[in-house]
Amino acid sequence: MPIKTLMFGWEFPPHITGGLGTACKGLTRGLAQCGTEVIFVIPKAFGDEDTDTQSIVGANNVRIRTKSFFNEFSQLSNEEEHTEEFNIWKELTYIEVGSVMVPYLTPEEFHEYIRSKENISKSFSFKSVKDFWLAKEQQLSAEGTLSFSGKYGTNLMEEVSNYAIAAAVIAQQHKFDVIHAHDWLTYPAGVAAKKISGKPLVIHVHATEFDRSGENVNTQVFDIEKMGMQMADRIIAVSNLTRNIIIERYGINAEKVTTVYNAVEPDQMAQREYSKSVDDKIVTFLGRITFQKGPEYFIKAAAKVLKRMPNVRFVMAGSGDMMNDMIMHAAALKISDKFHFTGFLKGDDVARMFGQSDVYVMPSVSEPFGISPLEAMRSSVPVIISKQSGVSEILQHAIKVDFWDDDAIADAIYGLLNYNGLSATFKHYGKIEVENLKWENAALQVNEVYKLAMN
């Protein structure tokens, strides 16, 4: 019998902010080719998502059963109050009461957040789980639904909590064999669905709080991640780098964690040729402009390359909380005339950017995997990646450097721009290599994890 999975994600193309949504789409297509049926749940469905290989359920459209629903879970919470089993409903209260935090914002949103921080820090005072449910009931619309922005805004924790409530309802409305939750934002939803349905839970770790924040972890996010890992029957890590973090930093049994590498989808746009509007060589950084991605090392390397050859332009495509700092950094190094900030790119704009690039650089400080180098190689662009990335575990035809070694990054850029034979080799063999990284192969491995969880 084909496996049917209830899958929880936070975003799905075309509405994405990074690689997570792209990976979810690729995996669902791969699973469909394996005969696995996927019900994909997102906080907010916009109606234009691709439904060729999976059905889409928006938590914003789920009708909550008003008083009977809340009474049921309030009673469930009270019944489990004195048991040793983890109480997800009390955890939902904890999630929402916690401090407001914002993991991914545009520069404009980030500064708005800073300006209004005192106004938006709500003073929750849930004295009991019952109070929590009463507050939730008051949030219902006339149609009996909870609202979601579907973004990473200042009320993120409230949306994570509401998403878990909607997940419990969805789990009652559908038949499925296994639950699959992507990244920490959906772990409470996965756990809620597990408690309601009794079905096994697989969580997919695309990144950990140590990747995002280094040693200065947000304890609230860490606790949610650890809760999800403990409650999961099986865990999928996107690289051995991530698998080791799960085992060593979260204390999870190694037998529970399986590495399944990401892949990249074929793209007709990647085969097109794009003409440049300038004669200069173009070197590209594409990703969130945050600590995790190492944007400052890209800028330092750019300054060193420009001292050796002036006919190069550097592009930083993306957005994030460090964007304004990076603009100032480029200005301080007096390379602003050769440095361009595009803002966030997606869809055809990504293919167009790679189509005009001569080199792609990913100097990530800690990268669980990294799909963008695969997208660059698919477009016949030679890539430079940090040794601290999960994707470096599988790529052979990429130049690998330590993220902090901006001299090595600069030398690699210079070599690829000036030695045609070197560049041609990485272009040719890199494209062949990445074309063999298929989502259907990753999906076959995920299906095996499902079977282990179900046994």
Q: How large is the average pLDDT for residues 135-158? A: 81
Same fold, 4-263+443-454 and 268-435: yes
Q: State the pLDDT confidence band at 277, using cuts at 50, 70 and 90.
A: confident
Question: Which residues share a beta bridge with 40?
Answer: 7, 56
Which position has the higher pLDDT, 400 or 130?
A: 400
pLDDT tens for each residue of 65-84? 654 555 555 555 555 444 43
Percent of the chain with pLDDT over 70: 84
Query: Quick one: pLDDT at residue 37?
Result: 96
Query: Quick one: pLDDT at residue 68?
Result: 54
Query: Quick one: pLDDT at residue 95?
Result: 62
Which position has the higher pLDDT, 91 or 82?
A: 91
Task: Find, among 435, 418, 429, the residue nearest to 382 by Cα.
Answer: 429
Q: State the pLDDT confidence band at 399, using cuts at 50, 70 and 90.
A: very high
Cβ-based neighbour number of residue 299 at 10 Å: 23
User: At a CB cut-off of 8 Å and minimum separation 6, what does 7 contact?
Assistant: 24, 28, 38, 39, 40, 41, 54, 179, 180, 181, 182
User: At a CB cut-off of 8 Å and minimum separation 6, what does 291 contact?
Assistant: 212, 213, 214, 322, 365
Task: Find, among 263, 264, 246, the residue nearest to 255 by Cα.
Answer: 246
Q: Quote the CA–CA distance of 73 and 168 in Å, as a whole number.
A: 10
Classify 4-263+443-454 by CATH class: alpha beta
Say which range, 132-146, 255-269, 375-389, 441-455, has the weakest mean pLDDT: 132-146
CB 92 within 8 A of CB 162: no
- The one-letter amino acid at 447: N
Q: How large is the average pLDDT for residues 419-442? A: 95
Q: What is the pTM of this model?
A: 0.86
CB 236 within 8 A of CB 258: yes
- Count how many Cα atoms sit within 13 Å of the Cα of residue 202 in the half-sphere of its side chain: 26
Question: Which tokens sit at 67?
Answer: 């008083």
- Is residue 280 pLDDT above 70, yes or no? yes
Query: Quick one: pLDDT at residue 121?
Result: 42
Q: How large is the average pLDDT for residues 210-232? A: 89
Q: State the pLDDT confidence band at 403, using cuts at 50, 70 and 90.
A: very high
- Count how many Cα atoms sit within 13 Å of the Cα of residue 371 in the half-sphere of its side chain: 23
Domain positions in the chain: 4-263+443-454, 268-435
Query: Quick one: pLDDT at residue 23?
Result: 92
Average confidence score pLDDT of the chain: 86
Query: Quick one: pLDDT at residue 393?
Result: 96
- Is residue 133 pLDDT above 90, yes or no? no
* CATH number given to 268-435: 3.40.50.2000
Task: Find, among 249, 155, 171, the residue nearest to 205 by Cα.
Answer: 249
pLDDT tens for each residue of 109-123? 545 554 544 444 443
- Is residue 286 pLDDT above 80, yes or no? yes
- Is residue 92 pLDDT above 90, yes or no? no
Q: State the pLDDT confidence band at 199, using cuts at 50, 70 and 90.
A: very high
- Is residue 150 pLDDT above 70, yes or no? yes
- Is residue 96 pLDDT above 70, yes or no? no
Q: State the pLDDT confidence band at 85, using cuts at 50, 70 and 90.
A: very low
Query: Quick one: pLDDT at residue 376?
Result: 95
- Which among 18-32, 152-166, 215-229, 407-421 has the top mean pLDDT? 407-421
Percent of the chain with pLDDT over 90: 62
Query: Quick one: pLDDT at residue 18?
Result: 75
Residue 155 vs residues 19, 96, 130, 185: alpha-carbon distances, Å: 22, 9, 21, 13
User: At a CB cut-off of 8 Å and minimum separation 6, what does 438 contact?
Assistant: 30, 263
Q: In sequence order, what DSSP letters do the residues of 141-170 get, joined into one string?
A: -TTS------S--TTHHHHHHHHHHHHHHH
